Structure 1
């Protein structure tokens, strides 16, 4: 199993994170400064662990629905 690297600025990304779906506590955010997609997993209570993912690895519906990317996958800045 490949471990995804940690976000360069998780606190900033978490401030602008959205739930991926109503069925999960997992969040997704875009770190515009570092041009990264950040996934946050709820580890306990209000504690989240963030890691980056590529465009091919993310749940595209969540970022499109929240206007975080263009339809071609480019991050909206």
Structure 2
């Protein structure tokens, strides 16, 4: 699926495609949980409001600069030997 194909889906179809993508990380912002997913060659942020128990928005993008909020949460284990 391309980013264009994703963007023309209905909101419900976008939700389904997102949760079927590869989950990468979560973060908190503005009182919501933001889950990052990878789908093919683009990313989707799924914004979830725990108090309302609902998804409030989806942001799709390709730019790796939009991944900056997640960098501090990525922990790599490097085995040098």
TM-score (norm 1): 0.46
* Structure showing the higher helix proportion among its residues: 2
Greater Rg by CA = 2
* Larger RCO (CA within 8 A; separation ≥ 6): 1
